Amino acid sequence: MTDISPAALRGAVDLSSLRNRPTAPTAPAQSPAAAGAGAVDIVVDATDESFGQILELSRTVPVVVDLWAEWCGPCKQLSPIIEKVARELGGRVLLAKVDVDANPQLAQGFRAQSIPMVVALIAGQPVPMFTGAVAEQQVREVFAQLLQLAAQNGVTGTLNVGEQPEGQEAPEEPPMPPLHAEAFAAIEAGDYAAAIVAYEKALAENPRDEDAIAGLGQVRLLHRVQKLDLHDARAAAAAAPRDIQAQFDVADLDLAGGHVEDAFGRLLDLFAQLPSDERTPVRERLIELFGLIGAADPRVIAARNRLSSLLF
């Protein structure tokens, strides 16, 4: 799920096409500045046009790029955690948020095959961090590794993070619904079972709660994979191609690692091999994972089409 090592600095993503793009004018509050300049917000919205200056800033401080979309449920789980951890570092990193729907060139440049996807930039070079939502403790550990790697590469600056000028306070975030807040607190504590219970209660109150649906799917996945060993799971699945649970385990690990098509393909292949009276659990798991990725995702559309062809 994470890959943050010196070797990752070499050619992970080709950003050369973005390096020399003209930078569109931005308001002072949105323009990231180097250490010693005016106070800045360390969380900025990056666009296809403005990314050049962010890329250059990565020579001063590590830049964490969060690729997200409004329709992406897991993004709503991960992005607040990343922003919280980034702000706590007090200017030692810049967080650049990229709406992949509005900025297709950046999405293509980062090869964003699935989101949420988080990539760091150190001296203009990309370092993969996460694909898929992860718990806060893991986010903190990877940020710590990022700062160590940045120091090894001479990127040790600090942004001048001042207080907001009077009258320009950031708008207050609306409070989470109580059960969502309960689930979020449980996720931060690593208690996925409690988070599942909270989201299930939220859905019992409002079955159309899309955030709760997405959150429940994500936390169920985290709960399932937290004690799995990838090598052991793959060996078990290879030894028993029709063992439903063994195939479920590898599909979960693939999805958690960002290999969405591999996960869907494995379960669809299993569905095709099983007799009709044994297929229901596989169909239900596929539908759950479709909801986790999002109905508009082209990989979900393709997998749904194949599932329909296998059903009829």
List, by residue number, the catalytic residues: 72, 75
Q: Which residues contact 145 (CB under 8 A, 6 or more apart)?
A: 4
Which helix (H) or strand (E) covers residue 121, if one does? strand 117-122
- CA-closest candidate to residue 149, choices 222, 70, 63: 63
Residue 61 CA to its chain's centroid (Å): 21
Task: Give, in order, the Cα–Cα distances in Å from 95 to each of 61, 89, 167, 174, 218.
Answer: 10, 11, 24, 22, 23
Token representation of residue 231:
């090598």
Burial bucket for residue 281 (CB in 10 Å: 0-12, 13-18, 19+): middle
* DSSP single-letter state for residue 135: -
